[in-house]
């Protein structure tokens, strides 16, 4: 077989056993890899209704045929599991040398189950797999632990690890790599922590088999060149995702004061332009020639790598107008292994709760010292941090009805950094994202602000489906970075070609979109199976955008309309082949080869 190794490395931490199993080639063809392979494994293997922190939950690290190959921006990997934050399917995409090494070690995925009695880490060197003692690493932050592992194993390895937040089961703890790459927003780091697994170190020395290396090289060369020649290349390497701060403020979608507003008078104190002035270097993922990690020196003199989401959530959303301080909070999250988007949401939520007198603690807007302390307390689950570690859905239920109106999440996952009072299409993208509110599957807002942004038209719903197919289906299963296409317009046609040259199986873009639909339907079925019920209200965006109109900026008074949203949601369901409650119809499942899902759905929904 070319392109795939056809092997899963299985590690049972309860029994301290490792094994390698073969994957049916038909599964690989139908699901490609990454997110596709992950959901197939979780659907097939998890006991229904499993507690995410139980030893029976499984944690999957999966690559795809394009991951870690010498192709544009390919150094990515999926980490997936049943989420302790949402109770549904959770995954994240992390840029890491571990993707290169996993390919070279000859595995398509690592599946971890069970729970170690004492802290451990896993060392993988091709077929040699060892579960090793990690007492000396437990308790260390991700930077210090990575340093120790590099001391022990040298630099030529890929390392994935958790920080104190993962160890303390913070429900939005992530998996960190390469001192600043983070993946798995819906608590994948907490699942790792529940298994007492501190780190995975991978060293691969074999070359993945490629069906047509010559054609692949040519195609990759063309794509790399397109990146360099792209009109936006120079600005991209100067600012990367940080250019979005100005854009979001101009378009009134910058999350401000816990998504109360979409504009902020101090946006220029956290902007990409300001970042450029204090930037000291660039970093990025393997095989990338448009590296977008912008490194600055933070308020306490340490290096911190900035991205738009981090800065908006820890800046405008909590009203902190100081980029170096924002950078410090961001770095703290990386060290502790906390998702910056959820953490910024939780901070904004608690600042508002404090403002309204719903909690005893005083946490003022923009209070950097209080924010810093709360981040630390959350990672260690101390004081108010104990509840903060549960996420805004649980926090709001704890505080009552008033608080639920300003809890900014979908299905329990905190919303990423785009306010949607004036963007119904993006609200639908959040509502229907397969992991809870996240922008990665469909950044519809970029197109939306260029059209009639207040409309709830069919064209937006169709565009949403297209984006979900490309971003959520294709890039997450290949698995490779989507930014060459999104940001620099690299031709999408390169991707089916590269996939075909690597695997020897001919794929067109349409074939890959069908794979995307298969993945989406299986993920939706997984949510329904794990919840044991389903209702369309689960696909609604946060209540605030319907109830609290903007009070500032060019769109003062704007809010979403629930009836119009409902119509748009119904159309989305129709185009997906789902019923009025968002449940996949039998014929849709059968058409996609998901016959085995039908009886499970019938049993739950009737």
Catalog residues that contact ligand PTT under the rule CB under 6 A.
76, 92-95, 174, 180-185, 241, 285, 305, 307-310, 333-334, 338-341, 440, 475-476, 481-483
Q: What is the three-class DSSP state of 264?
A: coil
Question: How many other CB atoms are found less than 10 A from the CB of residue 152?
Answer: 14
Strand pairing report for 409-410 and 197-203 = unpaired
- Shortest distance, CB of residue 233 to ligand SF4, whole angstroms? 11
- CA nearest neighbour of 117 among 42, 180, 55: 55
**Helix 494-503 × helix 509-531 angle, to 10°:** 90
CB of 340 or CB of 514, closer to ligand PTT = 340
Residues 395/342, Cβ–Cβ less than 8 Å = no
Is residue 275 at the binding interface for ligand SF4, with CB under 6 A as the rule? no
- Quickly list H helices, 337-472: 340-355, 368-379, 384-388, 392-399, 401-404, 424-432, 445-448, 458-467
Dihedrals phi, psi of 170, to nearest 5 degrees: -65, 130
Nearer to ligand SF4, 428 or 488 (CB): 488
What residues numbered 455-484 form the site for ligand SF4, per CB under 6 A?
Answer: 481, 483
DSSP letter assigned to residue 207: P
Query: Could you tell me the two tokens for 526?
Result: 């997984």
For ligand SF4, the binding residues in 506-535 under the rule CB under 6 A are none
Quick check: helix, strand or coil at residue 357?
coil
Please say which residue, 451 or 492, places its beta carbon nearer to ligand SF4. Answer: 492
Residue 288 interface partner, choices ligand PTT, ligand SF4, none, CB cut-off 5-8 Å depending on type:
ligand SF4
How far lies 37's CA from each of 25, 171, 605, in Å?
A: 11, 24, 26
Q: What is the DSSP letter of 434?
A: B
Q: Which stretch binds ligand SF4 (CB under 6 A): 128-136, 152-160, 254-262, 286-294?
A: 286-294
Please give the size of the binding site for ligand SF4, defined by CB under 6 A.
11
Please choose which of ligand PTT, ligand SF4, none residue 305 contacts, taking the beta carbon within 5 to 8 angstroms, the exact cut-off set by kind: ligand PTT
Beta carbon of residue 241, minimum distance to ligand SF4 (angstroms, whole number): 8
Match 């003062």 to its residue by tokens. Answer: 556
361, two tokens:
């603690």
Binder of ligand SF4 out of 78, 111, 178, 292 (CB under 6 A): 292
Which residues contact residue 470 at a Cβ distance below 8 angstroms, ignoring those fewer than 6 apart? 482, 485, 492, 513, 516
Which residue's CB atom is positioned nearest to ligand PTT?
A: 92
**From the list 67, 73, 182, 252, which residue makes contact with ligand SF4 (rule: CB under 6 A)?**
73
Collapsing DSSP to helix, strand or coil, 258 comes out as coil
For ligand SF4, the closer of residues 56 and 233 by Cβ is 233
CA 532/CA 581 separation, integer angstroms? 14
CB of 287 to ligand SF4, least distance (A): 8
Q: Which is nearer to ligand SF4, 323 or 483 (CB)?
A: 483
Q: Least CB distance from residue 418 to ligand PTT, whole Å? A: 11
Q: Which of 120, 159, 200, 285 binds ligand SF4 (CB under 6 A)?
A: 285
Q: Which is nearer to ligand SF4, 73 or 317 (CB)?
A: 73
- Identify whether the C-beta of residue 188 lies closer than 8 Å to the C-beta of residue 175: yes
Applying CB under 6 A, which part among 142-150, 283-291, 420-428, 463-471 lies near ligand SF4?
Answer: 283-291
Contacts of ligand SF4 in 93-122 (CB under 6 A): 95
Judge contact between 426 and 420, C-beta under 8 A: yes
Toward ligand SF4, which CB reaches closer, 2 or 179? 179
**Residue 550 site contact among ligand SF4, ligand PTT, none (CB < 5 to 8 Å, cut-off depends on kind):** none
Residue 544 binds: one of ligand PTT, ligand SF4, none (C-beta under 5 to 8 A by kind): none
The residue (of 71 and 569) whose beta carbon lies closer to ligand PTT is 71
CA distance 282 to 296: 9
Residues that bind ligand SF4 (CB under 6 A): 73, 95, 284-285, 288, 290-293, 481, 483
């Amino acid at each position: 077989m070319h392109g795939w190794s056809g092997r899963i490395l299985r590690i049972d931490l309860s029994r301290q056993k490792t094994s390698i199993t073969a994957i049916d080639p038909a599964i690989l063809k139908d699901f490609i890899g990454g997110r596709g392979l992950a959901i197939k494994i979780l659907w097939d293997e998890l006991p229904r209704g499993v507690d995410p922190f139980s030893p029976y939950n499984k944690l999957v690290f999966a690559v795809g045929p394009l991951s870690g190959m010498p192709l544009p921006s390919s150094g990515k990997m999926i980490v997936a599991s049943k989420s302790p934050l949402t109770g549904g399917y959770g995954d994240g995409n992390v840029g890491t040398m571990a993707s290169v090494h996993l390919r070279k070690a000859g595995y398509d995925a690592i599946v971890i189950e069970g729970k170690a009695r004492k802290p451990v880490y896993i060392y993988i060197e091709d077929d040699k797999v060892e579960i090793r003692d990690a007492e000396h690493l437990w308790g260390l932050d991700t930077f210090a632990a990575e340093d120790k592992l590099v001391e022990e194993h040298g630099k030529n390895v890929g390392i994935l690890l958790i920080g104190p937040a993962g160890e303390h089961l913070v429900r939005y703890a992530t998996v960190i790599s390469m001192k600043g790459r983070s993946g798995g927003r819906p608590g994948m780091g907490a699942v790792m922590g529940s298994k007492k697994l501190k780190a995975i170190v991978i060293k691969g020395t074999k070359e993945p088999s490629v069906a047509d290396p010559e054609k692949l090289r040519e195609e990759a060369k063309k794509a790399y060149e397109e990146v360099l020649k792209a009109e936006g290349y120079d600005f991209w390497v100067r600012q990367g995702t940080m250019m979005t701060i100005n854009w979001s403020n101009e378009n009134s979608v910058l999350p401000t004061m816990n998504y109360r507003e979409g504009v902020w008078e101090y946006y220029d104190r956290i902007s990409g332009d300001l970042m450029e002035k204090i930037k000291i270097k660039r970093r990025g993922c393997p095989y990338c020639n448009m590296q977008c990690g912008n490194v600055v020196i933070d308020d306490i003199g340490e290096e911190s790598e900035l991205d738009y989401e981090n800065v908006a959530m820890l800046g405008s959303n909590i009203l902190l107008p100081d980029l170096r301080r924002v950078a410090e909070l961001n770095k703290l999250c990386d060290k502790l292994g906390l998702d910056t988007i959820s953490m910024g949401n939780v901070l904004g939520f608690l600042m508002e709760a404090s403002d309204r007198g719903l909690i005893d603690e005083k946490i003022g807007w923009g209070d950097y010292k209080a924010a810093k302390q709360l981040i630390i307390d959350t990672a260690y689950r101390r004081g108010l941090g104990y509840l903060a570690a549960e996420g805004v859905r649980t926090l709001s239920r704890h505080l009552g009805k008033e608080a639920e109106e300003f809890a900014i999440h979908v299905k329990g996952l905190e919303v990423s950094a785009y306010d949607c009072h004036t963007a119904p299409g993006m609200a639908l993208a959040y509502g229907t994202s397969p992991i809870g509110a996240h922008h990665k599957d469909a950044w519809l807002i970029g197109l939306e602000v260029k059209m009639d942004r207040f409309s709830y038209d069919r064209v937006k719903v169709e565009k949403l489906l297209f984006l979900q197919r490309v971003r959520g289906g294709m890039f997450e299963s290949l698995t490779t970075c989507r930014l060459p296409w999104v940001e620099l317009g690299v031709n999408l046609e390169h991707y089916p070609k590269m996939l075909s040259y690597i695997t020897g199986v001919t794929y067109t873009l349409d074939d890959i979109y069908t794979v995307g639909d298969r993945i989406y339907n299986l993920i939706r079925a997984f949510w329904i199976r794990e919840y044991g019920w389903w209702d369309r209200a689960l696909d609604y965006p946060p209540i605030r955008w319907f109830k609290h109109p903007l009070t500032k900026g060019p769109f003062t008074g704007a809010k979403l309309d629930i009836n119009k949203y409902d119509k748009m949601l119904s159309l989305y369901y129709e185009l997906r082949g789902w019923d009025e409650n968002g449940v996949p119809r039998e014929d849709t499942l059968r058409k996609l080869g998901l016959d085995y899902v039908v009886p499970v759905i019938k049993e739950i929904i009737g």
